[in-house]
Amino acid sequence: MSFSVNPALWRQVFAVPSDIADRHIKLCSGVALKCLLLLLRDPETFGDPAAIAKRLGQPVSEVSDALAYWVESGVLCRSEGEETPVSPDNSAASQAPNPPPAPALPAVAPQRPRYPRDEAVALVEGDKTLSDLVGELQSLLGKLLTSADLDVLVALYSFYSLSPHYILTLINYCILIGRPSMGYAEKVAASWIADGVDDEGIDRHVDRLLLRRTNEGKVRAAFGITDRNLTSREREYIAT
């Protein structure tokens, strides 16, 4: 079965950048996509987050977060208001010193989109790899994935672009250290990504972490350390 747009609807159209469908369709949340469509359809009416929130029946804070995703992705530009330019007096301009250049603003990391359960389920059902991953994770964790679990899983797969091997290794590590939580797994994943741990190096990285935990356990048992965590210096010494 194939689908096509009702020809009668082509009488009124508006432009959508190809990049939205090519690159962002799997990354953005449903709310973010709706916000962008309204803004593209009528930028004068929906240039204000409050107007979008009223139309969608969503909190303004959630709409603002969704718009921030498009700004940080380079799709939207913030407009702080424009002033009418005034022609400068040439004599005064020649005497006035040039203003110092504005300091460069630090780069802002794209905000991780949120995936409501219906959206996450739709993504899972439309991607066999992701669907298989859900089954394997439920077997590993010994439970059905909750809405919060699905939100994290879709983010790991779509937003962080992690492979199934990476995700399964990550979750298995969390289980081995007694932290079988998808929320905790996302924090660990963000840390590993920041440290440059890629798909090829994740197995070696996990082996090193588990070995360190084993050695730390031996040291704690040997010295009877049961009422406190090891200090950073103690951990560094064990790691060497």
Identify the CA nearest to 170 among candidates 115, 161, 180: 180
Which residue bears the tokens 């096509």? 4
Domain assignment of residue 58, yes or no:
yes
Confidence of residue 24 (pLDDT cuts 50, 70, 90): confident
Domain assignment of residue 87, yes or no:
no
Tell me what percent of the residues of the chain surpass a pLDDT of 70: 75
Q: What angle do CA 9, 10, 11 make, to 5 degrees?
A: 90
Identify the CA nearest to 154 among candidates 66, 56, 30, 36: 30
Q: How many structural domains is the chain composed of?
A: 3
Number of other CB atoms surrounding residue 186 within 10 Å: 19
Contact (CB, 8 A) for 133 and 157: yes
Please indicate, yes or no, whether residues 185 and 207 belong to a single structural domain of this protein: no
Domain assignment of residue 7, yes or no:
no
Range of the domain at 27: 13-72
Whole-number pLDDT of residue 102: 52
Least trusted range by pLDDT, from 14-18, 24-28, 150-154, 222-226: 222-226
Kindly state the DSSP code that residue 161 receives in the 8-state scheme. -
| Secondary element (H or E) of residue 93 | helix 90-95
Please indicate, yes or no, whether residues 120 and 182 belong to a single structural domain of this protein: yes
Domain assignment of residue 135, yes or no:
yes
Domain assignment of residue 81, yes or no:
no
Domain assignment of residue 93, yes or no:
no
Domain assignment of residue 37, yes or no:
yes
Whole-number pLDDT of residue 232: 59
Domain assignment of residue 22, yes or no:
yes
Kindly state the DSSP code that residue 13 receives in the 8-state scheme. -
Which contacts (CB < 8 Å, 24+ apart) does range 85-93 have? none
Amino acid identity at 184: Y
Please indicate, yes or no, whether residues 130 and 185 belong to a single structural domain of this protein: yes
Please indicate, yes or no, whether residues 161 and 215 belong to a single structural domain of this protein: no
Render pLDDT for 79-129 as a digit per residue (tens, 0 to 9).
755 444 444 444 444 455 565 665 554 444 568 899 999 999 999 999 999
Please indicate, yes or no, whether residues 137 and 182 belong to a single structural domain of this protein: yes
Confidence of residue 26 (pLDDT cuts 50, 70, 90): confident
**How far is residue 34's CA from residue 52's CA, in Å, rounded to a whole number?**
9
Please indicate, yes or no, whether residues 178 and 208 belong to a single structural domain of this protein: no
Please indicate, yes or no, whether residues 182 and 163 belong to a single structural domain of this protein: yes
